[in-house]
Structure 1
């Protein structure tokens, strides 16, 4: 008789009647245990897990198989919590169908979960700043930055760096492209002609030349600006202008940065001086010149209560949005797609510094604190490694363009699409 282990998580109601019905129908012995209990994996045909799909993603299932030394192809998951909530009247039948179909499957071929650790080295292009080298040195990570010509290509979890006289494997690549700055909102020509809208850097230079007493100044912060220095400067200018010159200050942004450094304190200080902060979609802000061309009409809608605001401003100061310029990666990157296609700084699903190509990080600032945070992020990536299934067909990440041909044509229904947004890739589920 087949032996099947059924594990349940937390306080889930274990559907014992359905399990017993399946035992009788197809002749298996189902052993029910809590997820935290010890068990023997000897002679197990299947391990079925009952829980929430929010906590049991593919990586966690592989980690579970690795810890318990189980063939990952024998581990299956059923989202009992969600099924009960969405299909309350048919949840039991769906569970029974899942059990029957799972246990009817042919025997899995031997496979093993392995943890792959990238080489503890990093390639920095086009050249590493001294402060960045020191940051990586603190984490014990050697830095490579060769002189061209050379080629870089993916090799498993590593990248192979090869030139005329060298051949190295590195675990990660950090890119410092040049950045172009542009306004985060549309600026009509008649608005620009007033001279009353300026980037943050030009406004900073103007402070020593003009008086802003009792003037209305609007700061517009780009959603693409992840610079802590920019936010620190906006907070400081807004606070000082409110305090020393009694200026009326507005700060418009899609998100207010308060969760870093001492920003929460700066935010409270700035508000206590009378500055107003409003969350709004930057691309919908409308600017018009006043009749005397000595100011601008500012219109926007608040995110909180959809309240339409319109007022006269003496100055509008914007933090530019930044986007990477092409930097000729085609001369050194060997892959099916240009490496630039993996840059998606506006993707909210990507962690800080990350691109949609695992192991490749992108940097946009040049200060010591930023470099330390970047080095720590790369150190975490190199230390955690990647869990993979050996002796199992896999999909090469860089070659998957989500054409879905494999999903449509696979006769065994073995293809699944995993990930979020532009980080989605196909993978083989058994």
Structure 2
């Protein structure tokens, strides 16, 4: 059965519920959707991207149904990452008269993945703001370099007020999962796109000049309602501003003593009226915690000392945050060490390499297990966190 965006735009993507790791690193317990679309004008027909090779057969069947006897005149390549572009070669062979639409960077990168012998004769190289006339319908190209690859571009259809947003506004999870958009969209954003906040800001400025009623991403649901909410969140996220009023406590420890101190700190903060998220880094997916650190204004980093440094799970979190350009946050530190506590020094060294991180002093140091005097220190730390 055809899935219509409107009478001229048909969804031909596929759900992949069995994928366990997106990009071989991000857990996706609810799978992922690979999105592709057919756009029909009076004179010309366009395929908007292909999909991952895992779902080629399903995609081809949906495409042929949507085409309903038409032959595609163009394939628009928004993004060359293989989960969206795996079938370019197959489609080029299936439809030898079909033109391939991309930008200069697209065609510079395309031979890295495919050998299309007559590519020079088939390529339609577009520039920022160029339009493609389909007959009563136009495709206008909006470049989005480094959101999150250099060749990425979005496509706007003014007659339908539809924006094909590439990886922008994407979300983990298959389309048959009924869940809130924000949590998995945030995890997707901060892990896939988040490092490139300034570039996202540039695209949002371009989008502000367009009259958009529908956003069609390459992953996740088509967005038609409350677009101001989604665009507003992207604006906050790409400015590295928090959107949740909560304190994150991220704990990495070996035998539970540090975690018990974090549980005590959580209780103190909640009794002070604070929303608190407590995560055990040895058990929780690091990419989930990383996204939460971006969404919260304040974070407590609590770690056992390990080999005169921080515990490995904490080291992994900080490396991930640094790689994704975490910034503009307030941080408190709790360390534990039986004979020579050293985790705080290592944590501070990592934070010093990040931008606009305010560290609350003094560090709370615990030796082995939490004692009454440690509780007093944690209570004082809670008060400073609330004031910060």
TM-score (norm: length of structure 1): 0.28
Structure with bigger RCO (C-alpha 8 Å, 6+ apart):
1
Greater per-residue helix proportion? 2
Which entry has the higher C-alpha Rg, 1 or 2?
A: 1
